[in-house]
Amino acid sequence: MSIEKKYFGKLSDGREVTAFTMKAECGVSVTVMDLGATMVSLNVPDKNGELKDIVCGYDSPEEYIKNDGYTGATVGRYANRIDKGHFTLDGKDYEISKNEDGKRTLHGGFCGFDKKIWRSEAGQCGCGADRIKFYYTSEDGEEGFPGNVDVTVVYRLSADGELAIRYLAEADKMTPMALTNHSYFNLDGYEKQDISRQLLTINANRFMGIDDESISTEFYDVQDTPFDFRKEKQIGKALFTNYEHVMIPGGIDHSFDIDGTGGKMLWKHDIPLVKSVTIRSKETGIVMDIYTDAPAMQVYSGNHMGGVKYKGGVEAKKQGAICFEPGYFPNSPNRTDVPSCIFGPDRPYSSTTVYKFSVK
């Protein structure tokens, strides 16, 4: 195992951005940077033992600031949408940043966790795995949210190539919180920019509908819909249909109820996780299983991708990659029918997502 620390570039205001690469003996390597506690690349051996970089990213930090899309970033304080940029907590009304069309809050507001430079620390876990810890303090009132929040995001890579991301946070007032990673995956290699033929399993019996402003509505059973991914299916089978829930966002952009149907595992002996998603490429043979303890998984098929160049000048294409964003349901602060996303002095935030790689 080894960790390499490197200067990644400068922002226009002169601040320097640092990247860290962790390499496991089996070949898997991951590069993360302190801007947005972002995953910049993820190299995984394919069926021929050749490394494929399976996440989109940019060559310079400034492109991450300039371009929309939250590419690879840690998203917070609240990943996903909050309707009308408003919620009530303990009888008090909160107006938060309406950074999407001036109507609602998306992914934490105008300057969310993805655009902050985090403090960082590289080291090893007790068990010998490499890890990079990122820290950020979000102040009371940031983007309108209540309470100071100390956030820690830990990327951990074990010798057998298992990648874990842990999110821990402590707030001194009650506040909504949902932290996630917004990587765009393509298991053919990110440069291929087409996910329609990749095979997807989503272990969920229900998904949440959205209205024409992408605000969540009620739960729907996946049975007899294109969103039934309980058995492995080509992603394209859901993308190219006239199903009303596909027509609204122009693809998949929905939250799935991660209800445990995919089976469970105890991670590091005491953290219960469920298998939420499996994605596989026939071309490279790469398989990725995602385990999480988050109640919901936003699956976003890159419907707004395009108009930018990724690493090495690769042109971004619509539906060129797919995001799996474990977290809380959209608009949870304004709903009572979903798990609570309210954390505070009596309820610290803790969530873990584990990515496992194999070839088939």
Which residues are marked as active site?
182, 325
Q: How far is the CB of 304 from ligand GAL (least distance, A)?
A: 5
Q: How far is the CB of 44 from ligand GAL (least distance, A)?
A: 23
What pairing do the DSSP bridges indicate for beta strands 38-45 and 29-33?
Answer: antiparallel
Q: How far from each other are the two terminal CA atoms of the chain, in whole angstroms? A: 25
Q: Kindly tell me which of 309 and 360 has the beta carbon lying closer to ligand GAL.
A: 309
Looking at 34-42, 62-70, 119-127, 257-265, which segment touches ligand GAL (CB under 6 A)? 62-70
Q: Kindly tell me which of 16 and 68 has the beta carbon lying closer to ligand GAL.
A: 68
Q: Kindly tell me which of 252 and 288 has the beta carbon lying closer to ligand GAL.
A: 252
Considering the rule CB under 6 A, would residue 83 count as an interface residue with ligand GAL?
A: no
Q: How far is the CB of 149 from ligand GAL (least distance, A)?
A: 20
Q: How far is the CB of 174 from ligand GAL (least distance, A)?
A: 25
Considering the rule CB under 6 A, would residue 115 count as an interface residue with ligand GAL?
A: no
Considering the rule CB under 6 A, would residue 298 count as an interface residue with ligand GAL?
A: yes
Considering the rule CB under 6 A, would residue 317 count as an interface residue with ligand GAL?
A: no
Select from 70, 134, 184, 227 the one that contacts ligand GAL (CB under 6 A).
Answer: 70
Considering the rule CB under 6 A, would residue 300 count as an interface residue with ligand GAL?
A: yes
Considering the rule CB under 6 A, would residue 325 count as an interface residue with ligand GAL?
A: yes
CA-to-CA distance for 333 and 158, rounded, in angstroms?
A: 35
User: Contact letters (x/-) for ligand GAL, 180-219, by CB under 6 A?
Assistant: ----------------------------------x-----
Contacting positions for ligand GAL (CB under 6 A): 68-70, 106, 214, 253, 298, 300, 304, 323, 325
